[in-house]
């Protein structure tokens, strides 16, 4: 049992996108608890994050690892639901690229790295206006909003979202984390955000911290 779980961890680390579904299926067919399979896969993703931080892995590897994780969850998600591991009690996170900006690579990588963290992700896509984000916060009770802006011209939209949340009386209920080429921590705070992440892996760590706070 331990061998197949170890094999799943290794397959995620070594980006074996072509074989991961077969491994997960074999694990489930042999009676392994889906939660243990998820833990094995998450361990693999954690190691991928470490390899990225250590500059052994780069963006291509990070994306490929995210794709491999998605393949894993395609098989695993129904099994987890059957076991009653429903979404109740989990934290909601909203992701969006701000209004006026249509770049989403960073946001999508963050999305795929957040999947194994057990939160419920509402990815609103690109070019999302503040009103849509406010509505989603109200609807889901999300604790964190991750905003992406690649363009210098659109970073002011972070402030627009912040002010819209204040106007809606929701700002104290939700944290805003931002990322994107023109941003840094100083600018993030100036625009009304609570946190900044320089890349997707640090974004995961920051979001975990914000959810725990």
CB of 66 to other proteins, least distance (A): 9
Interface stretch with other proteins, choices 28-36, 41-49, 77-85, 181-189 (CB under 8 A): 181-189
Residue the block writes with tokens 């640090």: 202
- Binding other proteins (rule: CB under 8 A), the pick from 127, 132, 135, 140 is 127
- 180 CB burial (10 A radius; 0-12, 13-18, 19+): buried
Residue span binding other proteins (CB under 8 A) among the ranges 3-11, 35-43, 97-105, 114-122: 97-105
165: which 2 tokens? Answer: 């949340």
- Using CB under 8 A as the binding rule, whether residue 147 contacts other proteins is answered as no
Identify whether the C-beta of residue 4 lies closer than 8 Å to the C-beta of residue 34: no
Q: Which residues 150-169 are close enough to bind other proteins by CB under 8 A? A: 151-153
Among 60, 84, 88, 89, binds other proteins (CB under 8 A): 60
Written as one string, the DSSP assignment of 32-62 is --HHHHHHHHHHHHHHHHHHHHTTSS-HHHH
Q: Which segment (26-34, 35-43, 54-62, 80-88) binds other proteins by CB under 8 A?
A: 54-62
**Farthest CA pair distance, the chain:** 54
């Amino acid at each position: 049992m331990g061998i197949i779980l170890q094999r799943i961890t290794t397959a995620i680390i070594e980006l074996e996108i072509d074989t991961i579904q077969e491994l997960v299926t074999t694990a489930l067919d042999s009676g392994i608890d889906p939660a243990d399979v998820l833990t094995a896969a998450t361990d693999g993703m954690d190691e991928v994050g470490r390899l990225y931080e250590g500059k052994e892995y780069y963006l291509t590897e990070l994306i490929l690892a995210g794709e491999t994780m998605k393949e894993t969850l395609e098989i695993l998600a129904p099994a987890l639901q059957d076991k009653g591991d429903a979404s109740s009690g989990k934290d909601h996170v909203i992701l969006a690229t701000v209004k006026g900006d249509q770049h989403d690579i960073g946001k999508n990588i963050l999305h795929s790295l957040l999947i194994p963290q057990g939160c419920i992700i509402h990815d609103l896509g690109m070019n999302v206006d503040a009103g849509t984000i406010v509505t989603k916060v109200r609807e889901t009770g999300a604790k964190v909003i991750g905003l992406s802006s690649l363009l210098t011209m659109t970073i002011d939209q972070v402030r627009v979202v912040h002010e819209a949340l204040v106007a809606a009386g929701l700002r104290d209920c939700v944290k805003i984390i931002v990322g994107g080429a023109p941003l840094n921590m100083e600018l993030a705070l100036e625009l009304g955000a609570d946190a900044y992440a320089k890349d997707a892996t640090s974004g995961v760590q920051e979001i975990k911290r914000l959810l725990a706070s």
